[in-house]
């Protein structure tokens, strides 16, 4: 054990002793059931394949792809294309984050297809416009599109089918599909913003009548929603593949030809032209220089299970940090959703999210983030020893992970200044602040995306959390491509996070966080969720529901979650609300009362997580169990 860690040992033992007393007290009071015996939705059972995503039609696209001989990567790409076409809180100009289990290489692969800040996107530029953060929507909110590149790379490297086969469902949908109520009404709610941009107005508001503002502008639910420009763009990608194959190129080279047409050819030219015409910053160089990164994910072991997350360009390591802290407890002994259990979760998340808010950023830009220290088990023990088991700590701060790895902390002065609530903007910035919130603070905090799960009997497993270009999206000219709004996740004040300051070519630290777990070196769980800053909160609880409380995947997906708002939101005004705790309304009143005594401001909601999607791998029977939450439109099929 490193010498500078020894000092933490005594405090750790004292904390464990205090907690054992707390746990005993809790156990004398609670008789909460570990699992719900019944679920609203049934478990999906599959022998050959499972396909789950955010929309029933998109799940059908995945099933169709499996039926034509595709593997799980092909099916995931088909579902990604379909959900992007359906604007399921994402569009084609958004970003894609994925974990892929490769059954031949027997390893988990990370896909980083997050766009970057364009030329001219600097701290000084946004401050000159009186902004505290980059804007929430419009051309200036756009990072470069990542989803097309991510889809094409995954398909080329790990898929089996042609691009034409995988995009066929999305192209048919772009030609016209019956739109569902949720998105049709979302378009209508955002009509004032969408009407600012001619191409967005034309696509999303086909019934717009300047002379009659009371008339509905968006499509009606069930109306055939058509996107001819997007259809042409997708057909151009397929044409590039077809032309490459015609001159003897390989399958992989032909898909790469489609990639080149999007990022270097006529599609790129029109996207840049339209974006810059409306005040955006993206250049042709920004598109041509952007790359998808194939990465090693980060991992930790919890009770013999290896849990994988994408690294610190997203918030995924938060869940791993929280698991490292919580493994110092007997969580099952505390009781499912007892006040002691909820308090333990909240405090572990306090510490992990405080670290996220200060240390996470783009690993391809200096300074180098201290991920080794953040994921150190010794660091977790030190963080565990700092927990107050009697009351919530509303002043929980980032720690110093550099004590647990090589190197010195270059930002100790900023660490001393850091506060859970972002510092107020300078007066001149406030006066010039013209940014209008698209969403309320709570809506922004829970801002959704979609999620995708796919697995097959050959052993391929894919977990994806794509997002960006949600409505109200700026559509870039005749491409039909809606652009991302991820620029808002950067900060402009180094006191908030010196690793996540906006800079051209840099990726913003995003919330998007697919998960995967292996047991004995084989797939055990694949899981993801919608929901902005709540994602790793929800997935932590889902995972513990399975591992600690013996729930099956569907029970765990439908189970009650709790939500902390103590971390800084990644959207809009980046608001933080230390001590605020939302629990599901079926949490007993006496548990809520105990939490109030611990210093929480407790609220109840009918729903306390985004829709969770998951696949559990039943090694005993050689089958797969699929799950999707019992609300929202997430849907799965299996065979």
- Domain assignment present for residue 126? The answer is no
Q: What is the pLDDT of residues 142-188, one digit of tens each?
A: 999 999 999 999 999 999 999 999 999 999 999 999 999 999 999 99
- Domain assignment present for residue 315? The answer is yes
**Is pLDDT at 97 greater than 90 in this prediction?**
yes
**Is pLDDT at 615 greater than 90 in this prediction?**
yes
DSSP state of 533: G
**Is pLDDT at 109 greater than 80 in this prediction?**
yes
CB 258 within 8 A of CB 240: yes
CB 79 within 8 A of CB 465: no
The pLDDT of residue 250: 98
- Domain assignment present for residue 325? The answer is yes
The pLDDT of residue 443: 54
In three-state form (DSSP H/G/I as H, E/B as E, the rest C), the secondary structure along 69-130 is CCCHHHHHHHHHHHHHHCCCCECCECEEEEEEEECCCCEEEEEEECCCCCCCCCHHHHHHCC
Could you give the percent of the chain with pLDDT greater than 90?
Answer: 86
- Of the candidates 368, 338, 378, the one whose C-alpha atom is nearest the C-alpha of residue 593 is 338
pLDDT band at 423 (very low <50, low <70, confident <90, very high): confident
Domain count, the chain: 1
The pLDDT of residue 424: 57
pLDDT band at 631 (very low <50, low <70, confident <90, very high): confident
pLDDT band at 2 (very low <50, low <70, confident <90, very high): very low
- Domain assignment present for residue 137? The answer is no
Average pLDDT, the chain: 91
Question: What's the mean pLDDT in 232-260?
Answer: 98
Question: What's the mean pLDDT in 488-516?
Answer: 97
CA dihedral in degrees (207, 212, 213, 214; nearest 10)? -90
Which pTM does this prediction carry?
0.93
CATH of the domain at 346: 3.60.20.40
Q: What is the pLDDT of residues 23-79, one digit of tens each?
A: 433 443 343 444 446 899 999 999 999 999 999 999 999 999 999 999 999 999 999
- Domain assignment present for residue 87? The answer is no
**Is pLDDT at 431 greater than 90 in this prediction?**
no
Tokens representing 108 are: 């988990």
Angstrom CA distances, 185 to 204, 414, 442, 532, stand at: 11, 44, 19, 21
The pLDDT of residue 449: 75
- Domain assignment present for residue 379? The answer is yes
- Domain assignment present for residue 458? The answer is no
- Domain assignment present for residue 11? The answer is yes
Query: How far is Cα of residue 122 from the mean position of the Cα atoms in its chain?
Result: 25
Residue 375, domain extent: 3-43+295-426+509-638
Tokens representing 238 are: 């397929």
The pLDDT of residue 38: 87
């Amino acid at each position: 054990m490193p010498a500078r860690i020894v000092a933490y040992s005594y405090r750790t033992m004292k904390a464990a002793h205090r907690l054992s007393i707390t746990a005993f007290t809790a156990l004398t009071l609670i008789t909460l059931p570990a699992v719900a015996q019944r679920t609203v939705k049934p478990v999906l059972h599959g022998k050959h394949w499972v396909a789950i995503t955010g929309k029933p039609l998109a799940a059908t696209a995945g099933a169709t792809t499996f039926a034509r001989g595709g593997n799980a990567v092909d099916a995931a790409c088909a579902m990604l294309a379909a959900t992007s076409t359906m604007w399921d809180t994402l569009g084609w100009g958004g970003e894609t984050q994925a974990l892929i289990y490769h059954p031949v290489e027997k390893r988990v692969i990370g896909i980083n297809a997050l766009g970057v800040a364009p030329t001219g996107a600097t701290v000084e530029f946004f401050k000159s416009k009186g902004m505290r953060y980059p804007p929430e929507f419009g051309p200036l909110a756009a990072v470069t599109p990542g989803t097309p590149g991510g889809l094409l790379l995954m398909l080329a490297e790990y898929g089996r089918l042609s691009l034409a086969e995988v995009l066929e469902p999305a192209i048919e949908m772009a030609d016209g599909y019956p739109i569902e109520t949720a998105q049709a009404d979302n378009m209508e709610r955002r009509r004032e913003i969408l009407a600012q941009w001619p191409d967005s107005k034309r696509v999303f508001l086909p019934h717009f009548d300047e002379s009659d503002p009371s008339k509905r502008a968006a499509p009606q639910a069930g109306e055939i929603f058509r996107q001819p420009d997007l259809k042409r763009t997708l057909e151009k990608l397929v044409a590039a593949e077809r032309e490459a194959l015609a001159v003897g190129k390989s399958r992989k080279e032909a898909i790469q030809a489609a990639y080149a047409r999007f990022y270097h050819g006529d599609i790129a030219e029109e996207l840049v032209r339209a974006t810059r015409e409306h005040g955006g910053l993206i250049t042709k160089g920004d598109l041509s220089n952007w790359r998808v990164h194939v990465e090693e994910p980060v991992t930790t072991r919890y009770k013999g299970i290896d849990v994988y997350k994408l690294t610190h360009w997203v918030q995924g390591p938060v869940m791993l940090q929280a698991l490292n802290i919580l493994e110092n407890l007997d969580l099952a002994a505390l009781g499912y959703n007892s006040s002691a259990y909820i308090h333990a979760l909240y405090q572990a998340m306090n510490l992990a999210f405080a670290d996220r808010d200060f240390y996470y950023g783009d690993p391809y830009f200096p300074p180098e983030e201290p991920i080794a220290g953040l994921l150190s088990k010794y660091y977790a023990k030190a963080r565990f020893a700092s927990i107050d088991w009697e009351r919530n700590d509303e002043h929980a701060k980032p720690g110093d992970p550099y004590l647990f790895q090589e190197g010195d902390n270059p930002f100790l002065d900023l660490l001393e200044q850091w506060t859970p609530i972002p510092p107020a903007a300078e007066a001149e910035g406030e006066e010039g602040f013209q940014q209008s919130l698209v969403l309320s603070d709570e809506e922004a905090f829970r801002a959704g995306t979609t999620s995708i799960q796919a697995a097959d009997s050959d052993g391929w497993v894919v977990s994806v959390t794509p997002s960006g270009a949600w409505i109200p999206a700026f559509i870039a000219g005749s491409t039909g491509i809606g652009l991302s709004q991820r620029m808002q996740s950067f900060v402009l004040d180094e006191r908030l996070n010196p690793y996540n300051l906006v800079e051209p070519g840099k990726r913003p630290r995003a919330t998007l966080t697919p998960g995967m777990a292996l047991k004995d070196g084989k797939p055990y769980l694949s899981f993801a969720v919608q929901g902005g800053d709540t994602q790793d909160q929800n997935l932590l609880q889902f995972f513990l529901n399975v591992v600690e409380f013996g729930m099956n995947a569907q029970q765990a997906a439908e189970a009650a979650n709790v939500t902390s708002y103590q971390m800084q939101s990644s959207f809009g005004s980046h608001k933080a609300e230390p001590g605020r705790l939302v629990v599901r309304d079926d949490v007993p009143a006496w548990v809520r009362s105990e939490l109030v005594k611990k210093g929480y401001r407790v609220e109840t909601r009918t729903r306390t997580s985004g829709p969770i999607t998951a696949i559990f791998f039943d090694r005993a029977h050689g089958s797969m169990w699929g799950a999707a939450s019992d609300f929202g439109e997430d849907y799965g099929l299996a065979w």
